[in-house]
Every structure is written in C-alpha cells, then in structure tokens.
Amino acid sequence: QVQLVESGGGLVQPGGSLRLSCAASGSTLSAYIMTWYRQAPGKQRELVASITSGGGTHYADSVKGRFTISNGNAKNTMYLQMNMLKPEDTAVYYCHVYVAPTSHYWGQGTQVTVSS
C-alpha cells in the first residue's frame, strides 16, 4: 500500500503562482505514472498533468505553458509548479499514482483558489 501526502494549496490572486507537492511513502515505487487531477464544483474531474517514472510528461491544453510537473530532487515526490494562475484554475487538486497492473492510489486533495 502507498500513502500519498499533498501540500501547497491556498489562495492566490490571478497571475500568481503556487507549487503543489505529492510525496509517496509506504512502498518503494519503481515503474509508475503520477498524475495531478482537479475538480471544480459542478464539474467533472479532469486530468491536469502526468509524469512517468522515466520522466515523460503530459499536460492538458488548458495549462500548457503555465504549469510544470516534475519529480524534483526526490524520486518518490511529484511537484506541480503553477504560474500565471487564472480564476478558472480554482478547484480541488488530487494526486494520483498508478502502478501496473491494477494499483491506484489517491491523495486527500488540496484546495486551490484563484481570486482577486
């Protein structure tokens, strides 16, 4: 079993920045996909960005050029650097880890609010 611990959410003004962190513990991760999802009130959950254990990345069109996903200095830690934030980025952001063949792990979610 893998436990995910998130941090970094908060309230920022439009144009501001936040960095979200997701740390995995409890088991050693080898081949995996780590993903940030977000869900706003009344909307479906959507994929924001993903990174593989090999370093490959994928971004939603709505965040390309503004958000950066990375593994930082710790192999089992994922970061989401969010720049030029917009009100439409307001949502609960969730960390997710997939380990083949059938293991899925979710963080508790962290609130990001972008408002003036």
Q: Following DSSP, what letter does each residue of 4-66 receive, concatenated?
A: EEEE--EEE-TT--EEEEEEEESS---S-EEEEEEE-TTS--EEEEEEETT--EEE-TTTTTT
What per-residue confidence (pLDDT) applies to 50?
96
**86-104 confidence digits (pLDDT tens):** 999 999 999 999 998 899 9
Pairing of strands 110-114, 10-12: parallel
Check whether 28 has a pLDDT greater than 90: no
* 10 Cβ contact list (under 8 Å, min separation 6): 18, 111, 112, 113
